Structure 1
Amino acid sequence: MTIAERIRLYRQQKGFSQAELAEKSQVNSKSLSRYELGSSIPPADVLKNIADALGVSSDALLNDDTVTIKDKELLKKFEIIQEMSEEDQEIIIRFLDLTIRDYKAKKAYS
């Protein structure tokens, strides 16, 4: 996935229009359009502004090792979970592990 695709994906996941992201990141809307089309690459300072406006790290826009969640409601839930205490996160992870184990078992025997 290219930088352009990651910017567009994160923008869409946040529910921002190009104009909204341009305003939040203090980037010219025509420039942002070129960044999303891949016809231009944002300089480092602009990339940081875009990342900050999207609530992600600059690395997330540069590297292709990020996980994308297409379901917006699920993404919102995971964002909330990230804000929780480590203890609460561990409880949720145990619950998810058990649920996934049960799902796989049912799938294997059906």
Structure 2
Amino acid sequence: MANRSGVNIKSLSRYELGTSVPPANILKDLANAMEVSADALLGEQAAIKDMALFKKFEIIQQMDEETKKIITNFLDLTIRDFKAKKAYS
């Protein structure tokens, strides 16, 4: 993680142990290295590692309720099919 984020390994250890809090710029570097948002690291939202998928969900949040309902139904069906295939393979 230190190599991917460019954060000093001693500092990273302190952040992991909770003995120190990273400043905003370091939090951003850590989030980028883990391919999640800084909000996800702060526990403010679910961690979505696929940034392309995350960006799509950000756009979906701006849509009207009827469109979101259609998308949600489609996702539910797709997830159900995925789980069924996984269970029987």
TM-score (norm 2): 0.56
1:32 CA drift (Å): 0.2
For each residue in 1:90-109, what CA deviation from the matched residue of structure 2 results, as whole angstroms up to 9, or x when unmatched? 75531334688xxxxxxxxx
Q: Secondary structure at the match of 1:95?
A: helix
1:66 CA drift (Å): 2.2
1:60 CA drift (Å): 0.7
For each residue in 1:18-65, what CA deviation from the matched residue of structure 2 results, as whole angstroms up to 9, or x when unmatched? xxx111111100100110000100011000000000001111111244
CA distance in 2, matches of 1:95, 1:45: 38
**Aligned position for 1:52:** 32
Structure with higher helix content = 1
**Aligned position for 2:77:** 94
Q: Secondary structure at the match of 1:56?
A: coil
**Aligned position for 1:61:** 41
**Which gives a bigger RCO, structure 1 or 2 (Cα 8 Å, sep 6+)?**
1
**Aligned position for 1:106:** none
CA distance in 2, matches of 1:95, 1:42: 39
CA distance in 2, matches of 1:48, 1:67: 14
Q: How many residues align?
A: 68
Structure 1: give runs of 5+ residues left out of the alignment. 1-20, 69-74, 101-110
Partner amino acid, structure 2, of 1:52: N
Taking only aligned residues, the RMSD between alpha carbons, in angstroms, comes to 3.7
CA distance in 2, matches of 1:56, 1:65: 10
**Aligned position for 2:7:** 27
